[in-house]
Chains A and B, each alone.
Chain A
Amino acid sequence: MRKHKYNPIILMVSRVVSPFIMIFGLYVIFHGHYSPGGGFQGGTLLAAALLLIRLAAGFDIAQIQFKRILGTPLGSIGVLIYFGTGFLAMISGGEFLNYGFLPFAGFTEAGLRALGILMVEIGVGLAVMAILVAIYDDLLEGYPHD
């Protein structure tokens, strides 16, 4: 990590493996209703795919994939999606996060609940992914990037 800029074998393997981890993370997020997993686990898998590239290719090359300044805004957007879903249900007359009251036309009650759970999972996954990558970037602060 210090002497060599990067190892081509490790970089090649990481480039091949990382998209599969991302696909699996998206699968876990979008099947969070009826299978093990959910927003947190899927977001952590997405963050692991990003961190693998950051570890293998170095900080500067990985900026092409996911910029450092994106960490905190994406985390805030994820939290806003979560609370927005909750407050949308609250404004429409239900309780906080009562998905049955979401104001979307053309859905049955069960469909509305499934959609609400999916929106919350997407928000949680986005927030977890961005914050974990931001933690990694903050850990590297003050260290000479190579």
Chain B
Amino acid sequence: MYWEIEALLFVFLIITALISLYIKDLLAAVVTLSAFSFISALIYTVMGAIDVGFTEAVVGAGVTGIFFVVLIFQTSRRSGD
């Protein structure tokens, strides 16, 4: 329908995916993964699947980010042994 917006969103989607794959800092990887989820939610919304986009925005960009941040704070930078 709005193919220009879709193309722009796909470009941003690939950029955020590559950043979250190749970045060293785990916290920054979580933030870019949340951005990836949010952009994919926008893509679902543009394509007309409002319900799926809503679920993706709430779960992917909200709760999953919190869980990942909590797990990262339990890890340590050096191994113990």
Contacts and interface: CB of A to CB of B under 8 A. Distances in A.
Contacts, number: 42
A119 interface: no
A36 interface: yes
Main secondary structure on B side of the interface with A: helix
A143 B69 CA distance: 14
Interface size class of B (residues with CB under 8 A): 10 to 19
A88 B66 CA distance: 38
Given A51-B63, A132-B63, A136-B66, A41 B55 contact: yes
Contacts of A47: 63
Contact of A44 (B63, B71, B73, B74): B63
Main secondary structure on A side of the interface with B: helix
A62 interface: no
Interface in A1-23: 1-2
B67 interface: yes
Interface in A25-53: 36-38, 40-41, 44-45, 47-48, 51
A40 B56 CA distance: 11
Nearest to B51: A36
20 contacts: A36-B50, A36-B51, A36-B54, A37-B54, A40-B55, A41-B54, A41-B58, A44-B59, A44-B62, A45-B58, A45-B62, A47-B63, A48-B58, A48-B63, A132-B63, A136-B67, A139-B70, A140-B70, A140-B74, A143-B73
Interface of A: 1-2, 36-38, 40-41, 44-45, 47-48, 51, 55, 132, 135-136, 139-140, 143
